[in-house]
Amino acid sequence: MRKIYKGIPVSSGIAVGKALVLADQETLVIKRNIPEESLETEVKRFQAAVEKTKAEIKEMQGKVKKEAGGKHSGIFEAHLMILSDPMLTTAVEKHIRADKLNADYVFANAISGLIQSFESIEDDYLKERASDVKDIGKRVIKNLTEGKQETLADLKEEVIVFARDLSPSDTVTMKREKVKGFCTDLGGKTSHTAIIARALEIPAIVGAQSVSLQVKDGEPVIIDGLLGIVIVQPGEEDLKHYKGKLEEFLKQKIQLSKLKDLPAETLDGYKVELNANIEIEDEAKFVLKHGGTGVGLFRTEFLFLNRKDLPTEDEQYTAYFLAAEYLYPYPVIIRTLDLGGDKFLSHLGLGREENPFLGLRAIRLCLAKPELFKTQLRAILRASELKNIKIMFPMISGIEEFHKAKHILEEVKTELRKKKQKFDDAMELGIMIEIPSASLTADILAKEVDFFSIGSNDLIQYTLAIDRVNSNMAHMYNPLHPAIIRQLKRVVDAAHKEGKWVGMCGEMASDTAFSALLIGLGIDELSTAPVAMPEVKKVLRATTMVAAKKIAEDVLRLSTLDEVKAYMSIVNKGDCKYCK
């Protein structure tokens, strides 16, 4: 039966195809339909995997008992008890038969439900048991898949992916040729998953409530990444409508691509630096394809995801050098590691945090692990021989943190000089302004850095206290809040007073609804998703700097979000009094 769902559109485009549904698990588990005649074999496969897991646990228990004595082996008893509980195993068998689904998927979802129940218990001891359940889940799934777990990079057919949530590392492995679009129940517009979807130009919707539980494997679906609409079992009319909409979308893309070689310049001749955000060095190609003149943000942490070890200095050097060489003579701003938050790396041995966005993230992690930081800095410095690389530190909260990070950079430079290793000694060093404590002290920071780049994604999150990946709060995440606009003005003024330039690399810079306001506030550089560059350029080329400044002055006088929204909606309709 035809059904329509609504979510948050995060990556434009239309996709028509077949659904591939993933279970709610850290590891990738695909939902598959099982024919009636194979259901008993599927149940037996599940029972065998449970028995195998029990045998493995007993073996480990024996080993630990021998080596460390009986007191530590209790944990295994608990694991065995969970696996022998018919509430879990019988329920899974029942679901396999009733829903005619694969054991991996049914079991993964059952485990996920169990984890959530444990996590919601107030008692700390019982809360901790959630990690035991996770552990068991992983073991049984490994045995069910015989260790040959699929990834989104292995897909053989074209699909539209549905999942409760997708991590940025899952998303970055997607192949554009196979994944025509995706839709998740959770997530916000500036989550790194959404950012990657735009980078890969995959139509995507997030925050679509519980659609992943409703849609069936292989069902025909349409994803409208422009409006955030998902249609399951579309009818003839839908297919016809979307065929036309897709043609229109592609036509517009071709029109926009004609702007590629024109400058990002206002009608009255003000030139805006228009750069791109990239996550992997390969994306450098998209920058030129979409008419960019450099990289305003290279999110280097993506080199660290989806692998079991850390990238070596040489691997990092190669990635940075290739991007800089490909884009030469254009600038490439390399942001040092921003791991943490929604980009978690289990093999750093840091453990999960209660509030990862407020935890050991980005520069804090680098300062806590100086060797990790130094390796990256060495790789960046070595890659700078063409002199078009700049370094930028993320999540700087104040001048002391900047001093600490800069001190380590100086140590690495001294080391390289001793080794007679060439690097660009005059390389610019900037920081991201994405924490209110940095914007409030921008006057102090501006004296010592070469440039600022405003990370609006985090600046909004930390100023308004809205988790950027929480779909329930997405309606309150608004870049036009007066608290944000005032901070932007403050940061620009502080930088310009010291003769420094200011960019913006958060998603606010990619949204054409804000382009005039941002340049009117004095932002010198906009760094956007490659795909957004032509649209932003088009808007800039139809604006005058005189009007943009007046718009910014007016907006700064408004006191409520609703007033700013109403004012900007008039501007974006082209009806503002300065736009005539």
Name which of Mg ion, ligand PEP, none residue 456 binds, using a CB cut-off of 5 to 8 Å depending on partner kind: ligand PEP
> What's the min distance (Å) between Cβ of 203 and ligand PEP?
20
Cα separation, 134 vs 465, in Å, equals 30
Among 171, 185, 231, 168, CA closest to 14: 231
Residue with Cβ nearer ligand PEP (160 or 505): 505
Number of residues that bind ligand PEP (CB under 6 A): 10
Choices 141-149, 319-327, 447-455, 467-475; region in contact with Mg ion by CB under 5 A: 447-455
Nearer to ligand PEP, 456 or 543 (CB): 456
Q: Where are the alpha helices (DSSP H) in 100-232?
A: 103-119, 124-144, 168-172, 192-200, 211-214
Q: How far is the CB of 434 from ligand PEP (least distance, A)?
A: 5
505 binds, among Mg ion, ligand PEP, none (CB under 5 to 8 A by kind): ligand PEP
* Cβ atoms of 22 and 202 closer than 8 Å: no
Chain positions 431 to 450 lying near ligand PEP, rule: CB under 6 A, are 434
Is there a catalytic annotation at residue 579? no
> Residue 490 is encoded by which pair of tokens?
């403050």
Q: Which is nearer to Mg ion, 430 or 455 (CB)?
A: 455
Ramachandran region of residue 92, left (φ > 0), alpha (ψ -120 to 50) or beta? alpha
Q: How far is the CB of 61 from ligand PEP (least distance, A)?
A: 43
SS (H, E, C) 23-65: CCCCCCCECCECCHHHHHHHHHHHHHHHHHHHHHHHHHHHHHH
Question: Of the two residues 441 and 528, which places its CB atom closer to ligand PEP in the complex?
Answer: 528
Catalytic residue among 79, 192, 290, 481: 192
Catalytic (active site) residue 505: yes
The reply on whether position 279 binds Mg ion by CB under 5 A is: no
The angle subtended at Cα 304 by Cα 377 and Cα 143, nearest 5°, is: 155
In this structure, the strands spanning 3-6 and 229-232 are antiparallel
> At 501, which helix (H) or strand (E)?
strand 501-504
The pair of three-digit structure tokens given for residue 411, joined into one six-digit string: 């140590």
Give the shortest CB-506-to-ligand PEP separation in angstroms: 3
* Candidate list 225, 291, 294, 506; residue touching ligand PEP; CB under 6 A: 506
Contact status: 481 vs ligand PEP (CB under 6 A): no
Should residue 457 be labelled a site residue for ligand PEP when binding is judged by CB under 6 A?
Answer: yes
Q: Which x/- pattern over 277-316 shows residues binding ligand PEP (rule: CB under 6 A)?
A: --------------------x-x-----------------
If contact means CB under 5 to 8 A according to the sort of partner, which of ligand PEP, Mg ion, none does residue 299 touch?
ligand PEP
Residue 143 interacts, among Mg ion, ligand PEP, none and using kind-specific CB cut-offs from 5 to 8 Å, with none
Closest CA to 530 of 252, 291, 257: 291
Q: Which is nearer to ligand PEP, 46 or 501 (CB)?
A: 501
Maximum distance among all Cα pairs of the chain, rounded to whole angstroms: 83
Q: d(Cα 409, Cα 405) in Å, to the nearest integer?
A: 6
Residues near Mg ion (CB under 5 A), total? 3
Q: Extract the runs of DSSP E, i.e. beta strands, from 207-290.
A: 220-224, 229-232, 273-278
Binding site for Mg ion (CB under 5 A): 434, 455, 458
Residues carrying an active site annotation: 192, 505
Binding site for ligand PEP (CB under 6 A): 297, 299, 338, 434, 455-458, 505-506
